[in-house]
Amino acid sequence: MPERKQFVAGNWKMNGRRADGVGLARGLARLANGAHACDLLVCPPATLLLPVGEVIAGSSVALGGQDCHASPAGAFTGSISAEMLRDSGCSHVIVGHSERRHGCGESDADIRAKTLAAWRAGLVAILCVGETRAEREAGRAVDVVAGQLAGSVPEGAAADTLIIAYEPVWAIGTGLTPTIADIAQIHAAIRDRIPSATRILYGGSVNPKNAAEILALADVDGALVGGASLKAEDFWAIAQASR
Ligand code: PGA
């Protein structure tokens, strides 16, 4: 099996004014000068893409968007296209985050279209999947994730165009995480359904304390970090836990 370099991504969500984002990016760029085994990405809110991009230019930290519209341009008030993200310096975009699936009613078909849009613009899509608490308690976690993959991953996915993030909805922002065995089980199930070199991230309450144990799992190829990515030292500690 080809080696998969671990990948640690920070999803800043709807947080930060210019001074906060620039300060965070400066801290990270400085820390990322040090040795690290993984690829690093930050996904600031759209208003901060340009200033953050300027700060991290030339560092080992890449820039990503948090979502994109499926169309390249048009009358879609409030939306941003994959092409615009690319033009703003992004190399990656998150699609299908649970805050979009469940918070904004996005379907697998929507996420599939956004993934194709990302590819059209030359971006790597970080496609999120994950079960709700009720689905897990009903013993349906693997089925739900398999269904989301079947419905939202387009034909032609390759390791350099797609990253999967397994994010149990109930673990996001709650401080709760699945057991290590449960993470391993879902990641193995995802691995069976995607090209073998494709990276699979775990996301949901990753922090400097639990990162090493999670990132040590064979089928965990990195982390998608929300809350802990808003502090440069915490995000860096997670990156340092990568193998
Ligand atoms: P969290 O968020 O780390 O704050 O749980 C993860 C995510 O939503 O990507």
C-alpha distances (whole Å) from 82 to each of 6, 8, 74, 102, 189 are: 24, 21, 12, 21, 29
pLDDT tier, 1 (very low <50, low <70, confident <90, very high otherwise): very low
Let me know: does 163 contact 124? Beta carbons within 8 Å: yes
Q: Which helix (H) or strand (E) holds 87?
A: helix 82-87
Q: What digits encode the pLDDT tens for the residues 60-104?
A: 999 999 999 999 999 999 999 999 999 999 999 999 999 999 999
Q: What digits encode the pLDDT tens for the residues 135-163?
A: 999 999 999 999 999 999 999 999 999 99
Task: Please tell me which residue in 83, 99, 167, 187 is annotated as part of the active site.
Answer: 167
Q: Name the residue with the closest Cα to ligand 1, atom 7.
A: 226
Atom of ligand 1 nearest to the CA of 228: 3
Percent of the chain with pLDDT over 90: 95
The reply to whether ligand 1 has any atom less than 6 angstroms from the CB of 205 is yes
| pTM passes above 0.85 | yes
State the average pLDDT for the chain.
Answer: 96
User: Strand, helix or coil at 203?
Assistant: strand
The reply to whether ligand 1 has any atom less than 6 angstroms from the CB of 204 is yes
Q: What digits encode the pLDDT tens for the residues 157-216?
A: 999 999 999 999 999 999 999 999 999 999 999 999 999 899 999 999 999 999 999 999
167 is catalytic: yes
Let me know: does 68 contact 106? Beta carbons within 8 Å: no
Atom of ligand 1 nearest to the CA of 207: 3
CA distance 210 to 175: 10
97 is catalytic: yes
Other CB atoms within 10 Å distance of the CB of residue 103:
9
